[in-house]
Amino acid sequence: MVLSTAITTIRPMTSQVLDAPDDVEESPQRSPRTRPGLLSVWLFIVAGLVFAMVVVGGATRLTQSGLSMVEWDPVSGAIPPLSNSAWQEEFDAYRATPEFKHVNSEMTLSQFKGIFWWEFAHRLLGRVIGAALAVPFVWFLYRRAIPPGFARRLVVLVLLVGLQGAIGWWMVASGLVDRPDVAHERLALHLVTALILLSALIWVGLDLRTLDQHETADSTPGGEADVSPDASASTELGGKSFPLAVSFIVVLFAQFVLGAFVAGLNAGRIHNTWPTMNGSWIPHGINELSPVWSNAVDNPIAVQFLHRWFAVVVVVVSIALAWSLFRVGSTRLATVLEAVVLIQFTLGVLTLLHAVPVGLGIAHQAGGAALLVVAVISTHHVRPSGHARFEKRDPLAGALMDAPTRA
């Protein structure tokens, strides 16, 4: 009842405020009803769910469970099979897929249930994330709790969740027609979109937390920003570190794409030695495809070669970033960054040496997501001070703040 009232109230307003000019003069007083601290906690919780989604997605891939559900039913698909006949119907649908015919032709119904539950959990978690983001957003918007400048960002986050679901089904569909697995390019896009969503949730959450801290300091008697020479020098050094931090995130995403290619091409199950590839630094067959650039996408040997040596690039750039963090006084953040890089690099080597067992593979995927979280926090920490300003008015939230108070 409350949500229907909120939507009815918001709908006629959004058509006007979304077309409003951006150069609206900001009111000197913010509404006391905005809750940046609460919103930041909400986004961090959703980010935790997305992190879990990435881990479960890795498990789904490693257990070869991603093609066990051959239909996408946004509503009825949230309910698993509840009877023997329903289970048999799901199994019969799977038996018509190329994966069953070419890979799992001996699979029994009992074995099918094992892979079904991984994919079901993956999709159910996606629904939970969508609800956990969209429903509170509508409520916060209705209650005028969103600070100026953030409503549009939150809309983008909600849309990203929907886009991620669509890409996920597009990926699954690639393995249901004439091939026994999903297209590795679509797998990479699915992973990268999830990690972009994770990064955006953390970044916006940190912006909201920063705003909450500034407002708390402004409302505290005698509370002022630190303008000492040491603080100014630290801010200047941090701003100079920002391009390096952004570069580190770019390098990480390139490594994520290569990792997804390795997973999609099953390239982790060949050349299971380190540091050489079966005794060779440059293995035979690394450039057997034409044109040459296609080896970096479709050749399992070349993809694994690039993934293992790009990991060294990640380590080198992380050391440079950690040194920058150390120089601005963020010793703890620098230490955490290098610790996570070391753990992730070690997990990668162990996963390769053991030909990608499920447990190590899941830990390696979780380590990559954890490293991205630390990288985003580090980048936010050293961003130029101007990036933390929130003077620009958000028409959507602003219109609601100017609306009459509701009971």
* pLDDT tens digits, 88-115: 999 999 999 999 999 999 999 999 999 9
pLDDT digits (tens, 9 = 90+) for 130-156: 999 999 999 999 999 999 989 999 999
The Cα 194–Cα 102 span in angstroms is 30
- Sign of the torsion formed by the C-alpha atoms of 72, 75, 80 and 86: negative
pLDDT digits (tens, 9 = 90+) for 306-316: 999 999 999 99
**Residue boundaries of the structural domains of the chain:** 34-217, 232-388
In this structure, the dihedral spanned by the alpha carbons of residues 293, 297, 300 and 306, taken in order and rounded to 10 degrees, is 70
Confidence of residue 398 (pLDDT cuts 50, 70, 90): very low
> And the tokens for 307?
């993934």
Look at residue 236 in the predicted model and tell me its pLDDT.
Answer: 52
Which residues are within 8 A (CB) of 55 and not within 5 positions of it... i.e. 6 or more apart? 362, 365, 366, 369
Q: Which residue has the tokens 């079966």?
A: 278
Cα–Cα nearest to 107, from 97, 121, 118: 97
In this structure, the dihedral spanned by the alpha carbons of residues 350, 352, 354 and 355, taken in order and rounded to 10 degrees, is 160
E-only strand ranges, 204-279: none
Phi-psi bin for 222: left (phi > 0), alpha (psi -120 to 50), beta?
left
pLDDT digits (tens, 9 = 90+) for 315-332: 999 999 999 999 888 899
The Cα 173–Cα 176 span in angstroms is 5
Confidence of residue 212 (pLDDT cuts 50, 70, 90): confident
DSSP state letter for 406: P
Task: Name the helix (H) or strand (E) containing 13.
Answer: helix 2-17
The Cα 386–Cα 223 span in angstroms is 20
Look at residue 273 in the predicted model and tell me its pLDDT.
Answer: 95
Q: How many CA atoms are closer than 13 Å to the CA of 91, on its beta-carbon side?
A: 17
